[in-house]
Copies of this chain bind each other. A is one copy, B any other.
Amino acid sequence: MIEPVRFELSAKDIPETWYNIAADLDYVAPVLSPATGKPVTRDEMARTMPEALADQEMSREPEFEIPDVVRQFYARWRPSPLARARGLEQALDTPAKIYYKYEGVAPTGSFKPNTAIPQAYYNKLAGRTGLIAETGAGQWGSAIAFAAALFGMDAKVFMVNVSFQQKPYRRALMETFGAVCTPSPSAETEAGRAILKEFPDHPGSLGIAKSEALQTAFSDPRWGYTRGSALNHVCAHQTVIGQEAITQMDMAGDYPDIVVGCAGGGSNLAGLAFPFLRAQLNGGPNVRLIAAEPAACPSLTRGRIAYDYSDTVGLTSLTRTHTLGHQFVPPAVHAGGLRAHNIAPLISRVVEEGLMEAVALRQKDCFEAGVMFARTEGIVPAPESTHAIRGAIDEAIRCREEGVGKTILFGLSGHGNFDLSAYERYLGGTLADDSIDPEALEKGMASIPKTGNE
Protein backbone atom coordinates (compact mmCIF):
# COMPACT_ATOMS: atom_id res chain seq x y z
CA MET A 1 0.00 0.00 0.00
CA ILE A 2 1.51 3.30 -1.01
CA GLU A 3 0.60 6.70 0.39
CA PRO A 4 -0.83 9.11 -2.14
CA VAL A 5 1.58 11.97 -2.90
CA ARG A 6 0.14 13.18 -6.18
CA PHE A 7 -3.49 14.09 -6.71
CA GLU A 8 -4.39 13.75 -10.36
CA LEU A 9 -7.58 14.78 -12.08
CA SER A 10 -8.65 13.90 -15.60
CA ALA A 11 -9.61 15.99 -18.61
CA LYS A 12 -13.27 16.11 -17.55
CA ASP A 13 -12.15 17.97 -14.41
CA ILE A 14 -10.69 20.88 -16.36
CA PRO A 15 -12.70 23.89 -15.17
CA GLU A 16 -15.48 25.04 -17.50
CA THR A 17 -15.16 28.70 -16.58
CA TRP A 18 -12.47 31.19 -15.67
CA TYR A 19 -13.08 33.10 -12.45
CA ASN A 20 -13.05 36.91 -12.48
CA ILE A 21 -12.41 38.27 -9.01
CA ALA A 22 -13.46 41.76 -10.11
CA ALA A 23 -17.01 40.53 -9.53
CA ASP A 24 -16.32 40.02 -5.83
CA LEU A 25 -14.45 43.25 -5.11
CA ASP A 26 -16.24 46.40 -3.98
CA TYR A 27 -14.06 48.65 -6.09
CA VAL A 28 -12.05 48.13 -9.25
CA ALA A 29 -10.29 51.25 -10.47
CA PRO A 30 -10.91 52.14 -14.12
CA VAL A 31 -8.06 52.08 -16.60
CA LEU A 32 -7.21 55.61 -17.76
CA SER A 33 -6.23 56.85 -21.19
CA PRO A 34 -2.89 58.66 -20.97
CA ALA A 35 -4.07 61.14 -23.58
CA THR A 36 -7.30 62.23 -21.94
CA GLY A 37 -6.83 61.09 -18.33
CA LYS A 38 -10.34 59.66 -18.64
CA PRO A 39 -11.44 56.04 -18.27
CA VAL A 40 -10.70 53.94 -21.33
CA THR A 41 -13.92 52.92 -23.06
CA ARG A 42 -14.70 49.41 -24.21
CA ASP A 43 -14.19 50.46 -27.84
CA GLU A 44 -10.82 52.01 -27.06
CA MET A 45 -9.80 48.85 -25.23
CA ALA A 46 -10.90 46.73 -28.19
CA ARG A 47 -8.47 48.60 -30.45
CA THR A 48 -5.55 46.86 -28.77
CA MET A 49 -7.03 43.39 -28.26
CA PRO A 50 -9.82 41.17 -29.61
CA GLU A 51 -13.30 42.27 -28.48
CA ALA A 52 -13.84 39.12 -26.46
CA LEU A 53 -10.71 39.89 -24.43
CA ALA A 54 -11.66 43.56 -24.03
CA ASP A 55 -15.00 42.41 -22.65
CA GLN A 56 -13.27 40.10 -20.19
CA GLU A 57 -10.84 42.86 -19.26
CA MET A 58 -13.63 45.25 -18.26
CA SER A 59 -16.15 42.74 -16.96
CA ARG A 60 -17.53 42.55 -13.41
CA GLU A 61 -19.13 39.17 -14.14
CA PRO A 62 -17.78 36.36 -11.94
CA GLU A 63 -17.26 33.76 -14.67
CA PHE A 64 -16.22 33.54 -18.32
CA GLU A 65 -16.97 30.35 -20.16
CA ILE A 66 -13.85 28.56 -21.40
CA PRO A 67 -14.31 27.72 -25.10
CA ASP A 68 -14.18 24.00 -25.88
CA VAL A 69 -11.28 24.50 -28.26
CA VAL A 70 -9.27 26.00 -25.41
CA ARG A 71 -10.23 23.23 -22.99
CA GLN A 72 -9.26 20.72 -25.68
CA PHE A 73 -5.78 22.23 -25.86
CA TYR A 74 -5.60 22.49 -22.06
CA ALA A 75 -6.22 18.74 -22.02
CA ARG A 76 -2.76 18.24 -23.53
CA TRP A 77 -1.30 18.85 -20.07
CA ARG A 78 -4.08 19.92 -17.70
CA PRO A 79 -5.24 19.33 -15.04
CA SER A 80 -1.75 19.81 -13.66
CA PRO A 81 -0.66 17.73 -10.66
CA LEU A 82 -1.01 18.74 -7.05
CA ALA A 83 1.48 16.93 -4.84
CA ARG A 84 2.29 16.54 -1.18
CA ALA A 85 5.92 17.46 -0.49
CA ARG A 86 6.63 14.70 2.02
CA GLY A 87 10.36 14.74 1.35
CA LEU A 88 10.54 18.46 2.07
CA GLU A 89 8.37 18.08 5.19
CA GLN A 90 10.74 15.42 6.54
CA ALA A 91 13.83 17.48 5.80
CA LEU A 92 12.30 20.44 7.64
CA ASP A 93 11.09 18.24 10.50
CA THR A 94 7.91 20.28 10.53
CA PRO A 95 4.44 19.36 11.75
CA ALA A 96 3.10 21.35 8.79
CA LYS A 97 1.71 19.62 5.73
CA ILE A 98 3.11 21.09 2.52
CA TYR A 99 1.42 20.75 -0.85
CA TYR A 100 2.37 22.25 -4.19
CA LYS A 101 0.50 22.78 -7.42
CA TYR A 102 2.94 22.06 -10.26
CA GLU A 103 2.63 24.00 -13.52
CA GLY A 104 5.98 22.82 -14.93
CA VAL A 105 4.24 19.92 -16.71
CA ALA A 106 3.06 22.37 -19.37
CA PRO A 107 4.96 21.89 -22.64
CA THR A 108 6.98 25.07 -22.22
CA GLY A 109 7.59 24.38 -18.54
CA SER A 110 5.55 27.10 -16.85
CA PHE A 111 2.03 28.39 -16.20
CA LYS A 112 2.17 30.82 -19.15
CA PRO A 113 0.39 28.63 -21.73
CA ASN A 114 -2.80 28.83 -19.60
CA THR A 115 -3.32 32.28 -21.06
CA ALA A 116 -1.29 31.97 -24.25
CA ILE A 117 -3.75 29.38 -25.58
CA PRO A 118 -6.91 31.49 -25.08
CA GLN A 119 -5.16 34.63 -26.33
CA ALA A 120 -4.18 32.74 -29.50
CA TYR A 121 -7.73 31.45 -29.81
CA TYR A 122 -9.43 34.86 -29.51
CA ASN A 123 -6.90 36.53 -31.79
CA LYS A 124 -7.40 33.91 -34.47
CA LEU A 125 -11.16 34.26 -34.11
CA ALA A 126 -10.73 38.01 -34.61
CA GLY A 127 -8.92 37.39 -37.89
CA ARG A 128 -5.33 37.82 -36.79
CA THR A 129 -2.88 35.45 -38.46
CA GLY A 130 0.05 36.06 -36.16
CA LEU A 131 0.84 36.63 -32.50
CA ILE A 132 3.36 39.11 -31.22
CA ALA A 133 5.01 39.34 -27.84
CA GLU A 134 7.98 40.70 -25.96
CA THR A 135 9.98 38.44 -23.70
CA GLY A 136 12.78 38.76 -21.18
CA ALA A 137 13.66 35.48 -19.55
CA GLY A 138 11.77 33.76 -22.35
CA GLN A 139 8.83 32.14 -20.56
CA TRP A 140 6.21 34.26 -22.27
CA GLY A 141 7.86 34.13 -25.67
CA SER A 142 8.02 30.33 -25.46
CA ALA A 143 4.37 30.11 -24.49
CA ILE A 144 3.31 32.32 -27.40
CA ALA A 145 5.53 30.37 -29.83
CA PHE A 146 3.90 27.16 -28.58
CA ALA A 147 0.34 28.52 -28.77
CA ALA A 148 0.88 29.94 -32.25
CA ALA A 149 2.20 26.57 -33.46
CA LEU A 150 -0.89 24.78 -32.17
CA PHE A 151 -3.24 27.27 -33.85
CA GLY A 152 -1.25 27.35 -37.09
CA MET A 153 -0.39 31.04 -36.62
CA ASP A 154 2.84 32.96 -37.06
CA ALA A 155 4.70 34.12 -33.99
CA LYS A 156 7.09 37.02 -33.62
CA VAL A 157 8.92 37.59 -30.38
CA PHE A 158 11.00 40.62 -29.45
CA MET A 159 13.55 39.27 -26.98
CA VAL A 160 15.63 41.56 -24.77
CA ASN A 161 19.01 41.59 -26.51
CA VAL A 162 21.08 40.57 -23.51
CA SER A 163 18.80 37.55 -22.93
CA PHE A 164 18.88 36.78 -26.66
CA GLN A 165 22.68 36.52 -26.37
CA GLN A 166 22.79 34.77 -22.98
CA LYS A 167 19.89 32.35 -23.43
CA PRO A 168 20.42 30.73 -26.84
CA TYR A 169 18.46 27.65 -25.69
CA ARG A 170 15.33 29.63 -24.89
CA ARG A 171 15.64 31.16 -28.32
CA ALA A 172 16.14 27.70 -29.84
CA LEU A 173 13.00 26.52 -28.05
CA MET A 174 10.94 29.32 -29.59
CA GLU A 175 12.45 28.70 -33.02
CA THR A 176 11.78 24.98 -32.74
CA PHE A 177 8.12 25.88 -32.30
CA GLY A 178 8.46 27.97 -35.46
CA ALA A 179 8.60 31.50 -34.00
CA VAL A 180 10.77 34.29 -35.34
CA CYS A 181 12.82 35.69 -32.51
CA THR A 182 14.24 39.21 -32.87
CA PRO A 183 16.79 40.76 -30.51
CA SER A 184 15.55 44.06 -29.11
CA PRO A 185 16.35 46.90 -29.67
CA SER A 186 16.06 46.10 -33.37
CA ALA A 187 16.18 48.08 -36.59
CA GLU A 188 12.65 46.89 -37.39
CA THR A 189 10.76 49.51 -35.44
CA GLU A 190 10.90 53.22 -34.87
CA ALA A 191 11.39 52.71 -31.15
CA GLY A 192 14.26 50.30 -31.75
CA ARG A 193 15.95 52.45 -34.39
CA ALA A 194 15.83 55.54 -32.15
CA ILE A 195 17.64 53.70 -29.38
CA LEU A 196 20.17 52.00 -31.65
CA LYS A 197 21.05 55.36 -33.20
CA GLU A 198 22.04 56.71 -29.80
CA PHE A 199 23.32 53.44 -28.22
CA PRO A 200 24.35 50.93 -30.92
CA ASP A 201 25.25 48.33 -28.26
CA HIS A 202 22.19 48.78 -26.07
CA PRO A 203 21.53 45.56 -24.06
CA GLY A 204 17.78 46.10 -24.31
CA SER A 205 15.08 46.04 -21.67
CA LEU A 206 11.62 44.57 -21.31
CA GLY A 207 10.15 48.05 -21.67
CA ILE A 208 11.90 48.62 -24.99
CA ALA A 209 10.93 45.17 -26.26
CA LYS A 210 7.34 45.92 -25.30
CA SER A 211 7.43 49.21 -27.20
CA GLU A 212 8.76 47.41 -30.27
CA ALA A 213 6.12 44.70 -30.03
CA LEU A 214 3.35 47.28 -29.61
CA GLN A 215 4.53 49.39 -32.55
CA THR A 216 4.77 46.34 -34.81
CA ALA A 217 1.35 45.03 -33.80
CA PHE A 218 -0.47 48.34 -34.05
CA SER A 219 0.99 49.10 -37.48
CA ASP A 220 -0.13 45.85 -39.08
CA PRO A 221 -3.56 44.30 -38.48
CA ARG A 222 -2.29 40.79 -39.17
CA TRP A 223 -0.58 40.74 -35.78
CA GLY A 224 -2.31 40.34 -32.44
CA TYR A 225 -0.40 41.76 -29.51
CA THR A 226 -0.44 39.42 -26.49
CA ARG A 227 -0.01 39.98 -22.75
CA GLY A 228 1.86 37.63 -20.43
CA SER A 229 0.68 38.99 -17.11
CA ALA A 230 -0.89 41.79 -15.08
CA LEU A 231 -4.12 42.36 -17.02
CA ASN A 232 -7.46 41.29 -15.59
CA HIS A 233 -8.22 38.80 -18.35
CA VAL A 234 -4.78 37.22 -17.95
CA CYS A 235 -5.38 36.77 -14.22
CA ALA A 236 -8.76 35.22 -14.98
CA HIS A 237 -7.29 32.72 -17.46
CA GLN A 238 -4.83 31.57 -14.80
CA THR A 239 -7.60 30.70 -12.33
CA VAL A 240 -7.74 27.19 -13.78
CA ILE A 241 -4.77 26.63 -11.44
CA GLY A 242 -6.59 27.47 -8.21
CA GLN A 243 -9.88 25.89 -9.24
CA GLU A 244 -8.14 22.58 -9.90
CA ALA A 245 -6.17 22.94 -6.68
CA ILE A 246 -9.36 23.22 -4.62
CA THR A 247 -10.66 19.96 -6.11
CA GLN A 248 -7.31 18.28 -5.55
CA MET A 249 -6.96 19.46 -1.94
CA ASP A 250 -10.37 17.93 -1.43
CA MET A 251 -9.12 14.63 -2.91
CA ALA A 252 -6.28 14.83 -0.40
CA GLY A 253 -8.86 15.32 2.35
CA ASP A 254 -7.34 18.66 3.22
CA TYR A 255 -7.72 22.44 2.83
CA PRO A 256 -4.93 25.02 3.03
CA ASP A 257 -4.51 27.43 5.93
CA ILE A 258 -1.88 29.27 3.89
CA VAL A 259 -1.46 29.72 0.14
CA VAL A 260 1.84 31.11 -1.18
CA GLY A 261 2.67 32.20 -4.71
CA CYS A 262 5.54 34.08 -6.28
CA ALA A 263 4.66 37.56 -7.45
CA GLY A 264 6.12 39.32 -10.48
CA GLY A 265 3.42 40.60 -12.81
CA GLY A 266 1.02 38.75 -10.53
CA SER A 267 -0.98 36.46 -12.79
CA ASN A 268 0.47 33.18 -11.51
CA LEU A 269 -0.29 34.18 -7.94
CA ALA A 270 -3.74 35.41 -8.92
CA GLY A 271 -4.47 32.14 -10.70
CA LEU A 272 -3.66 30.09 -7.64
CA ALA A 273 -4.99 32.38 -4.91
CA PHE A 274 -8.17 33.97 -6.28
CA PRO A 275 -10.33 30.81 -6.33
CA PHE A 276 -9.47 30.28 -2.64
CA LEU A 277 -10.29 33.92 -1.96
CA ARG A 278 -13.56 33.51 -3.80
CA ALA A 279 -14.48 30.65 -1.49
CA GLN A 280 -13.54 32.75 1.54
CA LEU A 281 -15.51 35.78 0.35
CA ASN A 282 -18.49 33.52 -0.16
CA GLY A 283 -18.50 32.06 3.33
CA GLY A 284 -15.78 29.43 3.03
CA PRO A 285 -12.76 29.00 5.32
CA ASN A 286 -10.31 31.84 5.80
CA VAL A 287 -6.98 31.37 4.04
CA ARG A 288 -3.83 33.43 4.57
CA LEU A 289 -2.71 34.41 1.09
CA ILE A 290 0.95 35.34 0.74
CA ALA A 291 2.60 37.08 -2.21
CA ALA A 292 6.32 36.21 -2.29
CA GLU A 293 8.17 38.90 -4.20
CA PRO A 294 11.89 39.53 -4.74
CA ALA A 295 13.59 42.01 -2.42
CA ALA A 296 15.18 43.47 -5.54
CA CYS A 297 11.85 44.40 -7.12
CA PRO A 298 9.41 44.76 -4.23
CA SER A 299 6.39 46.48 -5.73
CA LEU A 300 3.94 45.25 -3.07
CA THR A 301 6.13 45.84 -0.02
CA ARG A 302 7.91 49.04 -1.07
CA GLY A 303 5.81 50.46 -3.88
CA ARG A 304 3.13 53.13 -3.81
CA ILE A 305 -0.47 52.70 -4.96
CA ALA A 306 -0.85 55.08 -7.87
CA TYR A 307 -1.77 55.31 -11.53
CA ASP A 308 1.24 54.41 -13.67
CA TYR A 309 2.27 53.13 -17.10
CA SER A 310 3.12 49.46 -17.63
CA ASP A 311 6.01 50.11 -20.00
CA THR A 312 9.13 52.23 -19.67
CA VAL A 313 8.33 54.71 -22.42
CA GLY A 314 4.71 55.39 -21.56
CA LEU A 315 2.83 53.87 -24.50
CA THR A 316 0.30 51.92 -22.42
CA SER A 317 -2.76 53.11 -20.59
CA LEU A 318 -2.55 54.00 -16.91
CA THR A 319 -3.57 51.50 -14.27
CA ARG A 320 -3.96 52.00 -10.56
CA THR A 321 -1.68 49.55 -8.78
CA HIS A 322 1.29 49.15 -6.45
CA THR A 323 4.21 50.56 -8.43
CA LEU A 324 7.88 51.33 -8.03
CA GLY A 325 7.56 53.78 -10.91
CA HIS A 326 7.66 52.91 -14.59
CA GLN A 327 11.28 53.98 -14.82
CA PHE A 328 12.39 51.77 -11.95
CA VAL A 329 15.12 49.35 -13.07
CA PRO A 330 15.73 46.35 -10.80
CA PRO A 331 19.27 45.04 -10.36
CA ALA A 332 20.15 42.16 -12.66
CA VAL A 333 18.56 39.43 -10.56
CA HIS A 334 18.09 36.05 -12.18
CA ALA A 335 14.48 35.51 -11.29
CA GLY A 336 13.83 36.90 -14.72
CA GLY A 337 10.07 36.79 -14.54
CA LEU A 338 9.79 38.88 -11.38
CA ARG A 339 11.22 42.13 -12.67
CA ALA A 340 8.05 44.13 -13.25
CA HIS A 341 7.90 47.60 -11.67
CA ASN A 342 4.23 47.17 -10.94
CA ILE A 343 1.77 44.36 -10.37
CA ALA A 344 -1.60 43.16 -11.57
CA PRO A 345 -4.18 45.75 -10.43
CA LEU A 346 -6.40 42.98 -9.07
CA ILE A 347 -3.57 41.65 -6.87
CA SER A 348 -2.81 45.20 -5.78
CA ARG A 349 -6.43 45.79 -4.83
CA VAL A 350 -6.66 42.55 -2.86
CA VAL A 351 -3.53 43.51 -0.91
CA GLU A 352 -4.90 47.02 -0.36
CA GLU A 353 -8.09 45.54 1.05
CA GLY A 354 -6.07 43.41 3.49
CA LEU A 355 -7.08 40.12 1.88
CA MET A 356 -3.50 39.16 0.98
CA GLU A 357 -0.08 39.69 2.60
CA ALA A 358 3.24 40.28 0.87
CA VAL A 359 6.80 39.35 1.80
CA ALA A 360 10.02 40.41 0.08
CA LEU A 361 12.62 37.65 -0.21
CA ARG A 362 16.27 37.70 -1.10
CA GLN A 363 17.66 35.76 -4.00
CA LYS A 364 20.19 33.59 -2.18
CA ASP A 365 17.60 32.56 0.40
CA CYS A 366 15.33 31.61 -2.47
CA PHE A 367 17.98 29.57 -4.28
CA GLU A 368 18.80 27.81 -1.01
CA ALA A 369 15.12 26.85 -0.81
CA GLY A 370 15.16 25.79 -4.46
CA VAL A 371 18.11 23.48 -3.98
CA MET A 372 16.54 21.99 -0.86
CA PHE A 373 13.36 21.36 -2.84
CA ALA A 374 15.30 19.73 -5.69
CA ARG A 375 17.14 17.42 -3.32
CA THR A 376 14.04 16.37 -1.38
CA GLU A 377 11.34 16.40 -4.05
CA GLY A 378 13.36 15.77 -7.20
CA ILE A 379 12.22 18.79 -9.22
CA VAL A 380 14.51 21.72 -9.99
CA PRO A 381 12.26 24.77 -9.69
CA ALA A 382 12.33 27.89 -11.85
CA PRO A 383 14.12 30.77 -10.07
CA GLU A 384 10.80 32.61 -9.94
CA SER A 385 9.14 29.65 -8.23
CA THR A 386 11.86 29.46 -5.57
CA HIS A 387 10.28 32.57 -4.02
CA ALA A 388 7.10 30.64 -3.33
CA ILE A 389 9.12 27.71 -1.96
CA ARG A 390 11.06 30.04 0.33
CA GLY A 391 7.82 31.57 1.54
CA ALA A 392 6.34 28.11 2.20
CA ILE A 393 9.49 26.88 3.96
CA ASP A 394 9.54 29.95 6.22
CA GLU A 395 5.94 29.23 7.24
CA ALA A 396 6.72 25.53 7.79
CA ILE A 397 9.67 26.45 10.02
CA ARG A 398 7.41 28.78 11.99
CA CYS A 399 5.01 25.84 12.44
CA ARG A 400 7.87 23.76 13.84
CA GLU A 401 8.91 26.52 16.21
CA GLU A 402 5.36 27.09 17.38
CA GLY A 403 4.44 23.42 17.37
CA VAL A 404 1.38 23.87 15.15
CA GLY A 405 0.56 21.70 12.17
CA LYS A 406 -0.80 23.99 9.51
CA THR A 407 -1.54 23.07 5.90
CA ILE A 408 0.48 25.06 3.39
CA LEU A 409 -0.08 25.11 -0.35
CA PHE A 410 2.33 26.83 -2.69
CA GLY A 411 2.45 27.37 -6.43
CA LEU A 412 5.34 25.74 -8.24
CA SER A 413 4.90 27.90 -11.30
CA GLY A 414 7.53 26.23 -13.47
CA HIS A 415 10.64 24.08 -13.69
CA GLY A 416 14.19 25.35 -13.85
CA ASN A 417 15.46 23.24 -16.74
CA PHE A 418 16.24 26.37 -18.73
CA ASP A 419 17.77 28.21 -15.78
CA LEU A 420 20.54 25.87 -14.74
CA SER A 421 23.24 28.47 -15.31
CA ALA A 422 21.81 30.39 -12.35
CA TYR A 423 21.98 27.25 -10.21
CA GLU A 424 25.53 26.69 -11.43
CA ARG A 425 26.46 30.16 -10.19
CA TYR A 426 24.60 29.69 -6.92
CA LEU A 427 26.32 26.35 -6.21
CA GLY A 428 29.66 27.78 -7.28
CA GLY A 429 29.25 30.71 -4.92
CA THR A 430 29.35 33.33 -7.66
CA LEU A 431 25.68 34.29 -7.65
CA ALA A 432 25.35 37.84 -6.40
CA ASP A 433 22.76 38.47 -3.74
CA ASP A 434 20.25 41.12 -4.58
CA SER A 435 18.84 44.05 -2.77
CA ILE A 436 17.07 47.14 -3.88
CA ASP A 437 19.16 50.00 -5.16
CA PRO A 438 18.10 53.17 -3.24
CA GLU A 439 18.95 55.41 -6.19
CA ALA A 440 16.94 53.26 -8.59
CA LEU A 441 14.06 53.35 -6.12
CA GLU A 442 14.21 57.13 -5.89
CA LYS A 443 14.38 57.51 -9.66
CA GLY A 444 11.51 55.09 -10.10
CA MET A 445 9.29 56.79 -7.55
CA ALA A 446 9.93 60.14 -9.22
CA SER A 447 8.70 58.73 -12.53
CA ILE A 448 5.19 57.98 -11.24
CA PRO A 449 2.97 60.41 -13.12
CA LYS A 450 0.88 62.93 -11.20
CA THR A 451 -2.62 62.20 -12.38
CA GLY A 452 -4.57 63.53 -9.44
CA ASN A 453 -6.18 60.11 -9.19
CA GLU A 454 -4.04 58.58 -6.42
Contact = CB atoms under 8 A, between A and B. Distances in A.
Given A5-B11, A109-B417, A173-B423, 19 more contacts: A2-B14, A2-B71, A3-B75, A4-B11, A5-B76, A6-B75, A8-B8, A76-B378, A107-B380, A149-B375, A149-B376, A150-B376, A168-B420, A169-B169, A173-B380, A176-B374, A176-B427, A177-B378, A178-B375
A440 interface: no
A68 B10 CA distance: 25
A418 interface: yes
Contacts of A351: none
A105 interface: yes
Interface in A1-26: 1-6, 8, 10-11, 14
Contact of A374 (B10, B177, B378): B177
29 contacts: A1-B68, A2-B11, A2-B68, A2-B72, A2-B75, A3-B75, A4-B11, A4-B75, A5-B11, A76-B83, A76-B377, A76-B378, A105-B105, A107-B378, A108-B378, A109-B417, A146-B378, A168-B420, A168-B421, A169-B420, A172-B421, A173-B380, A173-B423, A175-B424, A176-B420, A176-B423, A176-B427, A177-B380, A417-B417
A379 interface: yes
Contact of A424 (B3, B8, B172): B172
A71 B5 CA distance: 11
* A-side interface size class: 35 or more
Contacts of A178: 375
A39 interface: no
A359 interface: no
A399 interface: no
Interface in A404-427: 417-418, 420-421, 423-424, 427
A45 interface: no
A424 B175 CA distance: 8
A107 B379 contact: yes
A424 B168 contact: yes
Interface in A334-387: 371, 374-380
A169 B427 CA distance: 12
A169 B421 contact: yes
A427 B109 contact: no
A375 to B, nearest CB: 4
A311 B423 CA distance: 33
Nearest to A107: B378
Copies in the complex: 2
Interface in A152-204: 168-169, 171-173, 175-178
Interface of A: 1-6, 8, 10-11, 14, 68, 71-72, 75-77, 83, 87, 105, 107-109, 146, 149-150, 168-169, 171-173, 175-178, 371, 374-380, 417-418, 420-421, 423-424, 427
B75 A5 contact: yes
A105 B6 CA distance: 13
B176 A371 contact: yes
Nearest to A72: B2
A109 B415 CA distance: 11
A376 B151 CA distance: 9
A341 B107 CA distance: 33
A107 B373 CA distance: 12
A380 B83 contact: no
A378 B150 contact: yes
Contacts of A107: 378-380
Nearest to A5: B75
A168 B427 CA distance: 13
- Name the 4 nearest CB pairs between A and B, nearest first: A107-B378, A169-B420, A172-B424, A172-B420
A349 B437 CA distance: 67
Contacts of A177: 374-375, 378, 380
A4 B68 CA distance: 12
Contacts of A6: 11, 75-77
A105 B177 CA distance: 19
A107 B71 CA distance: 26
Nearest to A91: B152
A380 B169 CA distance: 12
Contacts of A68: 1-2
A302 B10 CA distance: 44
